[in-house]
Structure 1
């Protein structure tokens, strides 16, 4: 992944230096929106950037729980309210904001956290919510070439 980003950066830098700052900003915002859209789609289908499926939740006894049991993870987390895309002439940023950023970080890196106040600490499975796939890199390349 890091090698792909380095190769993309070396390929794009001469092309980006030829653009005016306003054009770079517009291009960065457009790329950020497209990357966010792809991240949202990938989170919806519960896939890591490499194409593997998210590790399933641990089974729980939900016999006493009233109402509907939600099966998919991160359905609210992927909303544009929480998953922000920003771009300026220097950088493109796609990431989580607010209180959900902590939840996303715990799942992204497979850290320990408490499910609720007073609950025991649990190590969560690693589920990469953010990451560039080959499809995302293609979108960036096409956006640059199209300008």
Structure 2
């Protein structure tokens, strides 16, 4: 987070010099780039530090008699643009989840306790950082800002 704060301190005076409409356009562009890179990282099942997500707990995968369901990667629907929203305005660029999905993502992000379904027992979830900054993403944001400001 120190890198992100340093980037913010460095870019804030520069961004104040451009018009709000131009800042909004830049923020949307940065948010969309971040969403794309977050989606790729979620598809690869990796935390921002490059480590793999904690594996799921074993479960009974037999559906109808004689059929075994395929193992599905975690967060495949969560990473879609329907659920992972990228927004930008004159004051901020944000990438996050909305509604019920935000609660599910938060439970995994922070490794909290939650119920799998109504009436089910409470389960402790392993921490899986769904959203977070990698060094490459910070460099990408910095490069985008520099490219925009040098035009």
> TM-score scaled by structure 2?
0.91
| Superposition map of 1:1-147 within 5 A | 2-63=1-62, 65-66=63-64, 68-147=69-148
Question: 2-side partners of 1:140 and 1:23: how far apart?
Answer: 16
User: Cα RMSD between the aligned structures?
Assistant: 1.1
The structural deviation recorded for 1:113 is 0.5
Question: 2-side partners of 1:55 and 1:90: how far apart?
Answer: 35
Residues 17-55 of structure 1: CA deviation (Å, up to 9, x unaligned): 221111111000000000000000000000001111100
Question: 2-side partners of 1:72 and 1:121: how far apart?
Answer: 22
Question: 2-side partners of 1:55 and 1:3: how far apart?
Answer: 26
Question: 1-side partners of 2:55 and 2:113: how far apart?
Answer: 17
The structural deviation recorded for 1:82 is 0.4
**Displacement over 4 Å in runs of 4+:** none
Unpaired stretches in structure 2, ≥5 consecutive residues:
none
Unpaired stretches in structure 1, ≥5 consecutive residues:
none
Question: 1-side partners of 2:50 and 2:18: how far apart?
Answer: 34
> What is the aligned length?
145
1:99 is paired with a residue whose SS is: helix
